[in-house]
Protein backbone atom coordinates (compact mmCIF):
# COMPACT_ATOMS: atom_id res chain seq x y z
CA UNK A 1 0.00 0.00 0.00
CA UNK A 2 1.58 3.30 -1.06
CA UNK A 3 2.34 5.84 1.63
CA UNK A 4 1.11 9.24 0.46
CA UNK A 5 3.11 12.44 0.74
CA UNK A 6 1.85 14.83 3.46
CA UNK A 7 2.16 18.53 2.69
CA UNK A 8 2.08 19.52 6.38
CA UNK A 9 5.10 17.38 7.26
CA UNK A 10 8.72 18.50 6.99
CA UNK A 11 10.53 15.38 5.80
CA UNK A 12 13.89 17.13 6.24
CA UNK A 13 13.41 17.27 10.04
CA UNK A 14 16.08 15.03 11.60
CA UNK A 15 13.93 14.44 14.70
CA UNK A 16 11.63 12.25 12.61
CA UNK A 17 14.42 9.75 11.97
CA UNK A 18 16.26 9.78 15.29
CA UNK A 19 15.34 6.22 16.29
CA UNK A 20 14.51 4.81 12.86
CA UNK A 21 15.73 1.39 11.83
CA UNK A 22 16.36 1.90 8.12
CA UNK A 23 17.75 -0.56 5.61
CA UNK A 24 21.40 -0.18 4.59
CA UNK A 25 20.35 1.35 1.27
CA UNK A 26 18.45 4.16 2.98
CA UNK A 27 21.20 4.65 5.59
CA UNK A 28 23.61 5.19 2.66
CA UNK A 29 21.51 8.20 1.58
CA UNK A 30 21.60 9.83 5.05
CA UNK A 31 23.01 13.32 5.39
CA UNK A 32 22.91 15.16 8.73
CA UNK A 33 20.55 12.55 10.15
CA UNK A 34 18.05 12.90 7.31
CA UNK A 35 17.60 10.30 4.56
CA UNK A 36 17.33 11.24 0.90
CA UNK A 37 20.58 13.19 0.79
CA UNK A 38 19.37 15.47 3.61
CA UNK A 39 16.12 16.41 1.87
CA UNK A 40 13.92 13.67 3.35
CA UNK A 41 12.96 12.35 -0.10
CA UNK A 42 14.88 11.21 -3.16
CA UNK A 43 14.12 12.65 -6.57
CA UNK A 44 13.86 10.55 -9.73
CA UNK A 45 15.12 13.36 -11.96
CA UNK A 46 18.17 13.84 -9.71
CA UNK A 47 18.94 10.11 -9.94
CA UNK A 48 18.68 10.24 -13.72
CA UNK A 49 20.87 13.36 -13.81
CA UNK A 50 23.55 11.57 -11.75
CA UNK A 51 23.35 8.63 -14.19
CA UNK A 52 23.64 10.79 -17.31
CA UNK A 53 26.48 12.90 -15.92
CA UNK A 54 28.24 9.69 -14.88
CA UNK A 55 27.90 8.34 -18.43
CA UNK A 56 29.38 11.51 -19.89
CA UNK A 57 32.47 11.17 -17.69
CA UNK A 58 32.80 7.38 -17.92
CA UNK A 59 31.37 6.50 -14.49
CA UNK A 60 28.27 4.47 -15.25
CA UNK A 61 26.16 3.58 -12.23
CA UNK A 62 26.23 6.89 -10.36
CA UNK A 63 22.42 6.78 -10.24
CA UNK A 64 22.82 3.69 -8.04
CA UNK A 65 25.14 5.63 -5.75
CA UNK A 66 22.51 8.37 -5.47
CA UNK A 67 19.85 5.91 -4.26
CA UNK A 68 22.26 4.27 -1.81
CA UNK A 69 23.14 1.06 -3.65
CA UNK A 70 26.90 1.29 -3.50
CA UNK A 71 27.66 -2.31 -4.56
CA UNK A 72 25.51 -1.97 -7.69
CA UNK A 73 27.25 1.34 -8.40
CA UNK A 74 30.65 -0.40 -8.36
CA UNK A 75 29.35 -3.28 -10.48
CA UNK A 76 27.91 -0.88 -13.08
CA UNK A 77 31.11 1.12 -13.12
CA UNK A 78 33.29 -1.97 -13.63
CA UNK A 79 31.10 -3.38 -16.44
CA UNK A 80 30.56 -0.01 -18.18
CA UNK A 81 26.88 -0.04 -17.24
CA UNK A 82 26.46 -3.67 -18.34
CA UNK A 83 27.69 -2.71 -21.81
CA UNK A 84 25.70 0.52 -21.70
CA UNK A 85 22.43 -1.38 -22.36
CA UNK A 86 21.95 -1.97 -18.63
CA UNK A 87 22.62 1.70 -17.94
CA UNK A 88 19.81 2.83 -20.28
CA UNK A 89 17.40 0.21 -18.92
CA UNK A 90 18.31 1.21 -15.38
CA UNK A 91 17.74 4.93 -15.99
CA UNK A 92 14.45 4.41 -17.85
CA UNK A 93 12.78 1.56 -15.93
CA UNK A 94 14.41 0.54 -12.67
CA UNK A 95 15.45 3.80 -11.03
CA UNK A 96 11.93 5.36 -10.87
CA UNK A 97 10.59 2.24 -9.09
CA UNK A 98 13.54 2.15 -6.69
CA UNK A 99 13.18 5.84 -5.83
CA UNK A 100 9.44 5.39 -5.27
CA UNK A 101 10.02 2.40 -2.95
CA UNK A 102 12.72 4.18 -0.95
CA UNK A 103 10.59 7.30 -0.58
CA UNK A 104 7.64 5.21 0.65
CA UNK A 105 9.87 3.61 3.28
CA UNK A 106 11.13 7.02 4.40
CA UNK A 107 7.59 8.46 4.52
CA UNK A 108 6.33 5.48 6.48
CA UNK A 109 8.91 6.02 9.23
CA UNK A 110 8.37 9.79 9.22
CA UNK A 111 4.58 9.42 9.47
CA UNK A 112 4.80 6.91 12.32
CA UNK A 113 7.16 9.14 14.30
CA UNK A 114 5.12 12.28 13.59
CA UNK A 115 1.83 10.61 14.55
CA UNK A 116 3.34 9.20 17.74
CA UNK A 117 4.79 12.58 18.72
CA UNK A 118 1.45 14.28 17.97
CA UNK A 119 -0.41 11.78 20.14
CA UNK A 120 2.09 12.26 22.98
CA UNK A 121 1.77 16.03 22.73
CA UNK A 122 -2.01 15.84 22.71
CA UNK A 123 -2.03 13.61 25.80
CA UNK A 124 0.45 15.88 27.55
CA UNK A 125 -1.62 18.98 26.75
CA UNK A 126 -4.78 17.18 27.86
CA UNK A 127 -3.11 16.19 31.14
CA UNK A 128 -1.78 19.71 31.75
CA UNK A 129 -5.16 21.22 30.94
CA UNK A 130 -6.95 19.00 33.46
CA UNK A 131 -4.33 19.46 36.16
CA UNK A 132 -4.82 23.24 35.99
CA UNK A 133 -8.53 23.08 36.76
CA UNK A 134 -9.05 24.37 40.28
CA UNK A 135 -11.70 22.71 42.37
CA UNK A 136 -13.53 25.12 44.64
CA UNK A 137 -13.04 24.41 48.33
CA UNK A 138 -15.80 22.68 50.27
CA UNK A 139 -17.68 25.17 52.40
CA UNK A 140 -18.58 24.34 55.96
CA UNK A 141 -21.77 25.43 57.65
CA UNK A 142 -19.84 28.17 59.47
CA UNK A 143 -18.72 29.76 56.18
CA UNK A 144 -21.98 29.60 54.23
CA UNK A 145 -24.99 31.23 55.89
CA UNK A 146 -27.48 29.66 53.46
CA UNK A 147 -26.15 26.18 54.09
CA UNK A 148 -26.08 26.80 57.84
CA UNK A 149 -29.77 27.88 57.91
CA UNK A 150 -30.79 24.77 55.96
CA UNK A 151 -28.97 22.50 58.37
CA UNK A 152 -30.50 24.24 61.41
CA UNK A 153 -34.02 24.10 60.00
CA UNK A 154 -33.82 20.39 59.35
CA UNK A 155 -35.06 18.38 62.25
CA UNK A 156 -32.83 15.55 63.11
CA UNK A 157 -34.63 12.49 64.32
CA UNK A 158 -33.18 10.47 67.13
CA UNK A 159 -34.68 7.27 65.81
CA UNK A 160 -32.64 5.18 63.41
CA UNK A 161 -33.70 5.21 59.83
CA UNK A 162 -35.90 2.29 58.91
CA UNK A 163 -36.75 1.57 55.34
CA UNK A 164 -40.48 1.28 54.67
CA UNK A 165 -39.90 -2.08 53.00
CA UNK A 166 -38.47 -3.64 56.14
CA UNK A 167 -40.93 -4.95 58.73
CA UNK A 168 -40.21 -4.42 62.34
CA UNK A 169 -40.43 -7.42 64.49
CA UNK A 170 -41.08 -7.15 68.16
CA UNK A 171 -38.43 -8.55 70.35
- Establish if 8 belongs to a structural domain: no
Alpha-carbon distance 81 to 78, whole Å?
8
Residues facing 34 on adjacent strands:
31
Q: How many separate domains does the chain show?
A: 1
Predicted model pTM: 0.70
Residue 4 and residue 103: Cα distance in Å, rounded?
10
Q: Is residue 42 part of a domain?
A: yes
Asked whether residue 153 is domain-assigned, the answer is no
Distance, in Å, from the CA atom of 54 to the CA atom of 47, rounded to the nearest integer, reads 11
CA 53 to CA 48: how far, in whole Å? 9
Containing structural domain, residue 67:
20-129
Tell me whether residue 46 is exposed, middle or buried, using C-beta atoms within 10 angstroms of its C-beta: 0 to 12, 13 to 18, 19 or more.
middle
In a domain, 116, yes or no: yes
Is 70 contained in some domain? Answer: yes
pLDDT, tens digit, for every residue of 106-155? 999 999 999 998 888 888 887 666 665 554 555 455 555 555 555 555 54
Q: Per-residue pLDDT tens for 47-66?
A: 999 999 999 998 999 999 99
**With 0-12 CB in 10 A as exposed, 13-18 as middle and 19+ as buried, what is 43?**
middle
Query: What pLDDT sits at residue 112?
Result: 92
Amino acid sequence: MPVEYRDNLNYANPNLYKYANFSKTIRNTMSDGVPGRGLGQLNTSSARTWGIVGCLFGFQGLQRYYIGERCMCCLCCLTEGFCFVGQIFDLCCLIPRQVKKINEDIRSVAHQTYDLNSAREMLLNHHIHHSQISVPPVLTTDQDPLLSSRVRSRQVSQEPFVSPNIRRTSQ
